[in-house]
Amino acid sequence: MGKRTGKYGREKMSQLSKYAQIQKCLNDNKDRRWLTKWAPSVASIWLILVISILCLNNKYLCLSDEVLVRLLETTTLNILGLSVIVLKSYFLPAKKNNLPEDYD
């Protein structure tokens, strides 16, 4: 069996390619909407946890100053780094050839 090289085969492949690109854009938009809710939620939860650790430290936890500083540093970097990496990958400017030319 040979490859499809006819006019209709190329047109069908072109249509499927355009459909796949449009579907990818729709899925990316859905993910972006979810991420716009996820990032502030994670940061808010992190902030609440850090404040509770600081408030409970003197009475219940009794952590040393060095432990508190390291805890705050690592959690802050992890939360901010994760958010930046994830959000940057989804919200970078689109490439020029990301959509088919006749996509409206």
Using CA of residue 8, residue 13, residue 14, residue 18, what is the dihedral sign?
positive
Q: pLDDT, tens digit, for every residue of 14-53?
A: 888 899 999 988 898 898 888 888 888 888 898 899 889 8
Contact between 9 and 42 under an 8 Å Cβ cutoff? The reply is: no
pLDDT number for residue 97: 47
Calculate the CA dihedral of residues 30, 35, 41, 42 and round it to 10 degrees: 140
Q: Which two tokens stand for residue 27?
A: 């899925």
pTM: predicted TM-score of the whole model, two decimal places: 0.59
Q: pLDDT, tens digit, for every residue of 48-94?
A: 998 898 899 988 989 999 999 998 898 888 888 877 887 787 777 66
